[in-house]
Structure 1
């Protein structure tokens, strides 16, 4: 089973607050790019999303990566997902056997080319969306996905929250169970992780940008609203997850851009959940 879970940031970008949270003003906040690593007793490190590799935002190309840095993106080489896992678990990148992707936007995939042995779990609708079109897709870095080959492991039958509490068991021992939370992207997934001490952690990716947009009253800012492929599906996924958390209040929700958790990671370094 899973003995520990760490949340960490792989970079951040300064943006006006209203882009994250509705009606919150022009003050600038640090939008974090968060990922998680769990240590499984038998399977070793399990990675949840892979925001940036050693090349940082250059996964979109050197010119765009340079422009992102110019306009506020902050990245340091020690923040690369490969270095984070090495520091937290002692594992080399080629020792990571599984990475669980919430979706395939560029700020979640930059580390994938550097995880040469990792089986990449992603919902089938997400993989189909990326591979069906030959045209450039906004928000996706095809180069991160080009050489995955047989390492890609699309899955289809993940239930939505509220349909089946057990979810889709991806490792066969109940430690990582997938749920469909579409809207932000066509095949967005969230993962419910069972810890050895009986707790559950939900890694929700971009189902919402902050946890308070699920468990509280804060509205989605302009960025999550404009990026979403379906605002109606975003709202449905949020409502289903909110209902789940009301029924299971001890579950710990993590999102990939949460301001409070991200600020803790930026200030303190990786945090144990």
Structure 2
């Protein structure tokens, strides 16, 4: 016991220094497209949104930690830049690619150290191939799904992950639960399975704004928080409900700002690009 006392004291007295030397963090929201759907019935397996039309924004996020960068989610395909495409189930559009927006900040794709995806769906992964030199951070359940097939489906296209597959594959961090992206506690990949097997949300601990929770697709719009709407295309209803509980408890205990990435009503929770939040 006596030998433990100096070690405990060192931790206690180091705490104020650690707080003073907190990481230099900055975060931007990038516009990665828009999806308009005439019928949102598939977003509840209990018929909560039958016949409702919904407009979804597609948000991607850039986090700077000192001189290192994380891109969180990679949006719709850059082939859509400047276009509007009408499909049977809705309309897709996008003004500018991620690479184009990064140029406004004086950044090149090869300066992005990490690309993290909340999950493998096409509207969160389609521009990943623009960052072949970055380390991919992905949930273990999602990586298992990506690597188990070469055939695209309506929601997932393994070709979006091509730089990290095959003989010349890039670096991949496969996360079975939670993960500290920069290794200093500032940006945490939080496992929230259910929407997909390895779905995750992101906790960003900004020095001025405080804790920010990016939902991924745990929630698509505010109403799902109140009425616990579970999309019919989620891979596990039970896991989704458990992730709802974990996320909500985390948001409450941290008094975090929650940003539902697809809800246009949450756009003003971060400054309009190219402004940032610290």
- Is this a same-fold pair by TM over 0.5? yes
Distance 1:185 1:73, change over 3 A: same
CA drift at 1:180: 1.0
**Structure label with greater radius of gyration:** 2
Give the secondary-structure state (helix, strand or coil) at the position aligned to 1:46: strand
Residue 85 of structure 1: aligned partner = 102
CA drift at 1:70: 9.6
Q: Distance in 2 between matches of 1:6 and 1:17?
A: 31
Aligned length: 246
Residue 16 of structure 2: aligned partner = none
Structure 2: runs of 5 or more not aligned? 1-22
TM-score, structure 2 as length reference: 0.77
Give the secondary-structure state (helix, strand or coil) at the position aligned to 2:232: helix
Q: 1:116-195, aligned counterparts within 5 Å? A: 116-149=132-165, 150-159=169-178, 168-195=179-206
Residue 234 of structure 1: aligned partner = 240
CA drift at 1:269: 5.3
Residues 16 and 25 in structure 1, CA contact (< 8 A), matched pair in contact too: no
CA drift at 1:86: 2.3
CA drift at 1:206: 0.5
Cα deviations across residues 177-226 of structure 1 (Å, max 9, x unaligned)? 12110000011111211223371212220011125533xx1442xxx612
Q: Aligned pair 1:201/2:208, yes or no?
A: no
Give the secondary-structure state (helix, strand or coil) at the position aligned to 1:55: helix
Q: Distance in 2 between matches of 1:70 and 1:23?
A: 18
Give the secondary-structure state (helix, strand or coil) at the position aligned to 1:91: coil
Answer with 173-182 or 45-54: which moved more.
45-54
Residue 258 of structure 2: aligned partner = 253
Residue 40 of structure 1: aligned partner = 65
Q: Aligned pair 1:6/2:63, yes or no?
A: no
TM-score, structure 1 as length reference: 0.78
Higher relative contact order (CA 8 A, sep 6+): 1
Residues 220 and 260 in structure 2, CA contact (< 8 A), matched pair in contact too: yes
